Structures are given as C-alpha cells and as structure tokens.
Structure 1
Amino acid sequence: MDLIAVFGLGHIGLPTAALFAKAGFEVIGVDINPDIVNLINQGISPIIEPGLDELLLEVVKKGKLKATGDGEYAARKANIMIMVVPTPLSADRSSDLSAVISASKTISKGLKKGDLVIVESTVPPTTCERIILPILEESGLKVSKDFGLVYTPERALPNNTLYEMTHNARVIGGIDEKSTERAITLYDKITKGEIVKVKDIVTAEMVKLMENTYRDTNIALANELAIICESLGIDAIDAIEAANYHPRVNLHIPGPGVGGHCLSIDPYFIVEMAEARGVHARLIRTARQINEEMPYHVLQLIKDALNDTGASIQDSNIGILGVAYKGNVADTRETPSKPLIDALIQEGAQVVVHDPYVKNEIIKAMGAEPVTLKEALKCDCIVLMTDHDEYREIEPNMIHGRVFICARPILQPEKFKEKGIIFKGVGRP
C-alpha cells in the first residue's frame, strides 16, 4: 500500500492525514511548527473539530500516523505527497504562495520515480503548472514521464469537517490521465461522495475558487439588500425567507461580514489572475468590497442606537459577543469582529469580548478584554457578531444595558423591543 506524506497539519491537513491513516495507509504528517508535531505524536489534536480527537488518538496509537518537522525525510519515504499548506493574502491582496513554494522545494528534494504529488492548497489558477511543476522538476525528474501531479480542492465546513471530507463530492484534475486516475483510486478509499473528474489541472484549481466566489457574491447581494431594506423599514430577513420560496432563488443570509480562510480570500485569487490578463473582475471585486465594509455598517448601527439614548461610543462600554468568524468554532481567521473592535477602540470605546470557543490570549491580542457572558451583557451596548448556539438562549431580562445590536439573525427583535431595549440588526429596522 502507498505511503502518504501530508504537508501542512492545519484545519484540513490534519483531518486528511487522519482519514487516510484510518483507511489503512501509513501516513507521515509534516508541519513546521514543533508544538503541533509534538501534540500530534501524543495523539492530541491541536484543532477543535468534532470527532478528530478520537480519530487522531486511534491512528497514532496504531502507529498509522506519525508527525515530523523533517519534510525532506517524509518526501523520501513517501510515494504520495499531499500539499495542504496555507495560502493567505499579501498586504496588496495578491496571493502569498510562500508556503506552497517552500513545500514544493522540500518535496522536490525527496521526489522519486513513480511518485504522485497532490495539491489541495487553494491557489490561483495556473499555479500548479506555472509555479509548482517547475520546482518539482528541479529534482531532475520530468512530470508525466517520472512523476504525477494532481490538484483536488477540499470541500469541508468547520465543525463538520470529517463528515464532509468523507461524504462531499471530490473534484480531481491531473496533469495527465494517469495522474488523475491514480488520485481517483486514492480518494475513493476515504470518501463515499461522488468523485468528479475534470479535464485538466487548471480547471480543478478554478472550481474551488468559483465555489467560494459564488457564496461570497451571494452574501454580498444579501448584505446590500439588507442595507436597502433597513432604509425602507423592511425586515430583510423576512423578505429573504419569503423570496427563497421561489424555486430558483437561494439568497444567503446577511450578516456583519465574511470571515474564514476561504470566502474572504479565494475571490481575490480570481481577481489577481484575471487582471494579470487584462480582464476586470468587477462583480467579484464589488462583492468583496461590500462584505469587507459590513463591520463598519455594524459600527454605524451602534452609533445610531447609542445616539438614540443620548450616549456616544466614546462614553460607552461595548460588549462583543463572538470573535470566531462563524458559529460554534474557534477559528478567528479574517473574522469581521476584528475590524469592528479596532474601529470601536479608535472611537474611544471600552471593548470587552465573550466567546466560548476562542482562547483569552487571542481575544487580548485583538486589543479587547475577555469577560464572561454575564459580564458582557452588563455593557451599555451589546453587539452579537457570531452565531454561537449559546447566544440563541439570550433573553431580554439578561441584558442590563439599553442597546442590543444583533448582527446575526438568531434572535427575535420583538421580545427585546417590548422590554424597552433598542434592538437593531443587519437588515432589521
């Protein structure tokens, strides 16, 4: 059976490694962070993900998964290398492929005839052929003749990652037919979902970006409609729910912005490659702008609500509920709560934060003071930014201040307003 090396043991890489180990493969996990390597070798997951703790402990105890910081060793030992390293944005919103380049160089030093390299990292179209492939061929080997190359994007939702990895459709595109078929055989061992073969590697790269850009654009439309509805005194949530009864309409839900490592970043990869070819991705850029401005729309809701009480931000204590980018996860990457906190502090507010999933040191690094939920609900203004299940249980009698900004539509405005609380939300007049 093939020996697999997984490069990058983050939110996707570690579950991927564990699932292949569970399927009976010998797996070497590679990460540059020694703390992550040490935890994994003890069978302890550094990532909060349902079911991953138990799965990891099982495969480590059986000796099926070992972690190392020595990528060259892993590449020499393995005959299948899977790259799942991060691809963030640079300051100019271009793709930062430094981790991909580094992992490619490491793999090239251990590349052998008959090996297969699989890229799962989200990358701009043409990255595999334009950047990764030439680095791999520095080994002296030639693609197709000596080794294979495939791109397959993950499709997994935090807090449901293991299920989605084993049940969602898997898109696979290779540099040649042999590479593609070999990858299909491999992933068929860990997924019950349909495997979708596309005609080439660049198509597979584009598919992942299309999926997330669709969602980002849909959310931007919902957010713009929500702001318009606010100005007209219409409850956008009610209107969207009714509109979605149309058999060909599926509007997403508005909110305080878009976070996470995918939706807030992937559209820029399309923009980057399009504009390099003289094509202006106007809709995609506009959608990103709308979603990036939503935390500042929440800021304006706070200002307006406080103004209705005769107060100002500078004189107020603001309690933020949730800094994770989505509900019931600990992930704060690209969270819309961060620009809101920055803006509030700049305006002179005293900001405290409650989040049942996020560590206190992360909250402090954002410039806010971590507090209990009870303490946060005592603030002059409470701002619900993340739809954690715990927050769905908030009742009007738990709130001491007069202002509640609910940026996620998980609470009913009427019962708060009946108690004299100024309740505002995105899309809710």
Structure 2
Amino acid sequence: MAEPTFKKISVIGLGYIGLPTAAMFASRKIEVVGVDVNQHAVDTINRGEVHIVEPDLDLVVRAVVNEGYLRATTVPEPAEAFLIAVPTPFKGDHHEPDLKYIEAAALAVAPVLKKGDLIILESTSPVGATEAMARWMAEARPDLSFPQAAGEAADIRVAHCPERVLPGKVMQELITNDRVIGGMTEKCSEAAARLYRNFVTGECVVASGPRVAEMAKLTENSFRDVNIAFANELSIICDKLDMDVWELISLANRHPRVNILQPGPGVGGHCIAVDPWFIVSSAPEEAQLIRTAREVNDAKPQWVINKVHAAIGAHLSASPDKTAKDVTLAIYGLAFKPDIDDLRESPALAIAEDLVGRHVGAVWVVEPNIRELPSALPEARLMDMGTAEKADIHVLLVQHREFSEINQDIGAIVNVCSPT
C-alpha cells in the first residue's frame, strides 16, 4: 500500500534556508505554515513580501502567499511534517556549538506532534544533534514513541537532511542538488525522501544514519575551507615576496590537475566559517589540518586591516600637511560573498568594524545590497559609488558585480578580493 502524500508541512525558521524551502514546497500546491519568532518576518511574508535578498525568492513568495499555499505565524500548529531550519551558533567566544535554538524549536513543536508525523532537522549541526533533538522531543511527549527507543515501530519519524545550497542560487539549487537523507531508521529515511521528492530533481541519497548526514555537510564545507586557506596563505606569501597572487594562481591552475581557489579577506557565512569548528569540537586531537585552515582564514581579516593601516601611513607620508583625521576610507562590500545581502560571519564586516573603531577620519561604506548599515558601524556612512570615489583610500573587500568597473585611477587601492 502506497504511503500517503504530505498535505500540510511546517517549516520552523524562516531565514535564508527556511523561507526558500517553505516557498518551494508551497509552489507545489502543498499547504505550508512557516513559523518564526521574528514578528517582522512573519508580517512581511504574510504580505507576500520577503525580508531577505535572494534572486527569484520574492516572486515565488508573492505567488504562493496570494494563492493561499503559504502563510507565516509565530506559534507552531499541527502538520504532517516539520522541517527545522534554525541557527546553530557558537557558545560565546568559544568555538563550541550551541544547540539552544534547535532545542527551543523542538520543544515548541513537541506539543502539536501526533502519531505518524515526520521531523526533519535541516540546520547544519554537529554530529549527534539530530539524536539530541529526538531525545528532547521524547522527554516532552512521553505519550509518543520515538526511533531511539521504538525503532521502526516509532510513532514519530526523525531524520537529518542538511541543506546544500549556494546563497544567490538557492532557488535553483534546492531543486537540482542531490539531497542527503539521514533517517534514524529506514522508514524515517523513506519518509524524508518522499517529502523532498515533491520538488527535488536531484537524487535523494540515503545515508546510513543521521550522524553520517550531519558529518557529510560539515565535511563539504571543511573541504572548501581548507582549500580557501591554501589560497589565502598564498596571498600572504606573495605579498611578502612582491608577487601578484592572482597571476600566480592563474598560471598554476593551467595544470590539468590543479584548481586553486581565489583568496579573499577571510571566510564568512554561516556554513564554511562555522562548520569546520563543529568537526574540531567533536575530535579536537585528530582534526589538525581542519583546525589550522580555520586559524589561517580567521587570521586573514587582521592581515587586511594591517594592509589598510599601512596604506594610510603611506598616504600621510606623501601628504605631510595631513593628519589621520583628514584621511577618508571607502570600504567596498560588507556581505560575506558577492551579490548577496547576507552579513553573517562576514570577514568584510569584521574588517569594517575594526577600521571604524580605530580610524579617526571618515569611513564610507559602499554596499549596494543593503539599505542601511548595521548597528556595529555607528560612525560609518553608507555611500554610493560616485561619492565614494572622492575618498583617499579605497578598500575592496567583496567582488559585487557593481564593483567590476571601479575606476583604477581613483587613488590608493587595497584590493583583497580579486583583480578588477
């Protein structure tokens, strides 16, 4: 007998992953209820608008809200499948994963669970997080059985299915990318795969369990982090040896088995800048290379800051009638990658914060993807490119498409993102 289809889905967390996922299911004519603690986000979505920047997302959200397939609320309600897509930050200044948002989501959903429901953790998580989520729910609902105790006979099915999308291409990659399915039992995996096949055209690949699925996502991002660290370290070496790192990488990449990535001001985003530390926290003695790569990338912003201060010093040496207060800095880009508005874990934002805090002169910021500066930059001013050309020092941090035609004769340029 065929398993029933899912008629109502709830997505917990309506951020950069949760909202596109909710919109994608709703576009398949499935009733979707999005849940978020942010009342502004809920109200914005219910107007058919979006509170984040992602190509094509606004068009899909407007359509599915107007058609009645997507609505948002702050309180969970009954559904047949629940997808949890909430943040997994660090604890304080340490690199230990903090599961408080996953726990809060699990406990919020628990009261509305019923026999036959499917719970999927989409949040990028340290190994063991899915099992911890299942334990929290089981403690909150002793009247229901969960896979860790009842196996295939459990009332509730639980799986981990990490998102694997690139900001700026989320709406496309949600559909076409393969999906890793890590159910706590075989039936859990089958249910999760059946859910995603509503819109996923890539393969739904079943892992041997949630821990492997969790580790797969962490491994993908750690692989990229290690390779970026190699490029960033090369850039520092080339600077010391007075070489053009982009020329060097271009030449090296002509080898048929070499593909060096591009250096930058560091590594940002909620994935690559965070996930490797989850592996380190799970196996601190064994994860030597992964830890070193993180340390290289985390140190790159300070190297950039030192380069900017050196440029200020050179400018003052050439203009002895000026003081540092007379030097205006223009910072190009705050997002963690080109052509998006996402500032999470952004090295460019960290660099801007430091420069604003230390530089006594004016600091102008050019970031075409945001309408106002974050509160961390109280003394800076958001400028357009035309006005910013009047600055004395120009710091190119993010390769937004708008920056590709920056006038190379505008003055002193500190370029750490790519050749222009």
Task: Give the 3-state SS of the residue equivalent to 1:343 in structure 2.
Answer: helix
Show the 5 A alignment for 1:125-136.
125-129=127-131, 131-136=132-137
Q: Select the residue among 377, 402, 408 that pairs with 2:389.
A: 377
Please say if 1:301 is aligned against 2:307.
Answer: yes
Partner of 2:146: 143
Partner of 1:177: 186
Task: Give the 3-state SS of the residue equivalent to 2:11 in structure 1.
Answer: strand
Q: Select the residue among 307, 312, 327 that pairs with 2:338.
A: 327
How far 1:94 sits from its partner (Å)? Answer: 1.3
2: distance between equivalents of 1:269 and 1:313?
42
Counterpart contact for 1:363–1:369, Cα < 8 Å: no
Counterpart contact for 2:353–2:376, Cα < 8 Å: no
How far 1:247 sits from its partner (Å)? Answer: 3.0
Task: Give the 3-state SS of the residue equivalent to 1:362 in structure 2.
Answer: coil
Per-residue Cα deviation, 1:218-264 (whole angstroms, up to 9, x for no partner) = 11111101111222222211221222233332211001111111111
Amino acid at match of 1:195: C
Counterpart contact for 2:352–2:377, Cα < 8 Å: no
Task: Check 1:196–1:248 CA distance in 2 against 1; reply closer, same or farther (3 A cut).
Answer: farther
2: distance between equivalents of 1:207 and 1:164?
17
Query: Greater shift after overlay, 218-227 or 313-322?
Result: 313-322
Task: Check 1:296–1:223 CA distance in 2 against 1; reply closer, same or farther (3 A cut).
Answer: same
How far 1:280 sits from its partner (Å)? Answer: 4.0
Q: Select the residue among 243, 253, 258 that pairs with 1:244.
A: 253
Show the 5 A alignment for 1:89-168.
89-91=90-92, 92-129=94-131, 131-138=132-139, 139-140=141-142, 141-144=144-147, 145-168=154-177
Task: Give the 3-state SS of the residue equivalent to 2:42 in structure 1.
Answer: helix
Per-residue Cα deviation, 1:66-108 (whole angstroms, up to 9, x for no partner) = 111112xx2xx20111000111122212112111000011121
2: distance between equivalents of 1:183 and 1:316?
57
Partner of 1:318: 329
Amino acid at match of 2:381: E
Per-residue Cα deviation, 1:18-44 (whole angstroms, up to 9, x for no partner) = 101111211111011111111111111
Please say if 1:8 is aligned against 2:13.
Answer: yes
- RMSD (Å), alpha carbons: 1.7
Partner of 1:18: 23
Contiguous gaps of at least 5 residues in structure 1: 412-429
Partner of 2:83: 82
Partner of 1:206: 215
Amino acid at match of 1:151: H
Counterpart contact for 1:86–1:121, Cα < 8 Å: yes
Per-residue Cα deviation, 1:126-167 (whole angstroms, up to 9, x for no partner) = 1111x2011111212222311111101111111111001111
How far 1:187 sits from its partner (Å)? Answer: 0.8
How far 1:350 sits from its partner (Å)? Answer: 2.7
Amino acid at match of 1:255: G
Query: Greater shift after overlay, 359-368 or 332-341?
Result: 359-368
Query: Greater shift after overlay, 62-71 or 343-352?
Result: 343-352
Task: Check 1:359–1:96 CA distance in 2 against 1; reply closer, same or farther (3 A cut).
Answer: farther
Q: Select the residue among 29, 37, 40 that pairs with 2:42.
A: 37
Counterpart contact for 1:34–1:69, Cα < 8 Å: yes
How far 1:375 sits from its partner (Å)? Answer: 2.1
Counterpart contact for 1:387–1:410, Cα < 8 Å: no
Q: How many residues align?
A: 400
Per-residue Cα deviation, 1:174-212 (whole angstroms, up to 9, x for no partner) = 000001011111111111112221111100000110011
Task: Give the 3-state SS of the residue equivalent to 1:67 in structure 2.
Answer: strand
Partner of 2:150: none
Partner of 1:46: 51
Partner of 1:426: none
Length-normalised TM-score, structure 2 = 0.91
Counterpart contact for 2:160–2:183, Cα < 8 Å: yes
Show the 5 A alignment for 1:253-268.
253-268=262-277
